[in-house]
Every structure is written in C-alpha cells, then in structure tokens.
Amino acid sequence: MHALDVLGDPVRRRLLELLADGELRAGELGEVVQHEFGISQPAVSQHLRVLREAGFTTVRADGTRRLYAIEPAALAEADAWFGPFRRFWQPRLDALGTELARGRRERRLAAASENPIDDTTAPKEN
C-alpha cells in the first residue's frame, strides 16, 4: 500500500498525530479516536493494524498492554513523494517565517522602548 493511501484516511492521520508526541497505549489511542470519530474499538484496531502493516507504526507488548509508536521510515516515503511539490508552498512558508520574525522583533523593540533601562538607578560596581 502506498504511503498516501494510508495517510488518506482521516482516522489514520489522527492516530499518527496522537503518536507524534510519543508512544501511547492502544487503549489511549482508541479512547480519543472513538470519541472524535464515533467509531467502534474494533474499527480503531483495524486502523492500527493498517498503520502497523504499512510500516507507519511499531507495536510492543508491555504486559497485557500494546504500546504504539511512529516508525519514521514510512513517513520519509511520503515526504519524498511530496518533494517535487514543495516549490508550490515553500516560498509562502518562508515568507510567513520572515513575517513572524519581523513581528517578534517589533514587539521586542516596542517592549524595550516602553521599559528603558535607567543607568542612574542601577547599583554601581566597585
């Protein structure tokens, strides 16, 4: 199965989003996805199986619990597929980064001008 086929499903994308912060129990994943998508526990298990078989996740046993984690190699395949299309959005993301940096700088300068350091009240060093 192609990486984009796997990522095309909103439930599987959500599962990967949840795993982006680190390893989670299958039960924890199921609780969130069942609530958000209104699907059954067996349906969540099926999505987890697809992610595992496609190489997007790993699973390890911890007693009776199953802990899932992201497998970065499969995401690299999707990233590589998107490579030729980055030229459509990368300049806009770069421009956004510039504007955000400019805004931070302006706020920093404004805060400095509102709270200037007064050398006459600072303790003198001997």
Give mean pLDDT, residues 85-109. Answer: 90
Angle, CA of 90, 91 and 92, to the nearest 5°: 90
H/E element, 44: helix 41-53
pLDDT of residue 113 exceeding 90, the answer is: no
pLDDT band at 124 (very low <50, low <70, confident <90, very high): low
% of the chain exceeding 90 in pLDDT: 61
Tens digit of each residue's pLDDT (9 = 90 or more) over 14-55: 999 999 999 999 999 999 999 999 999 999 999 999 999 999
* Entry pTM: 0.69
Mean pLDDT of the chain: 89
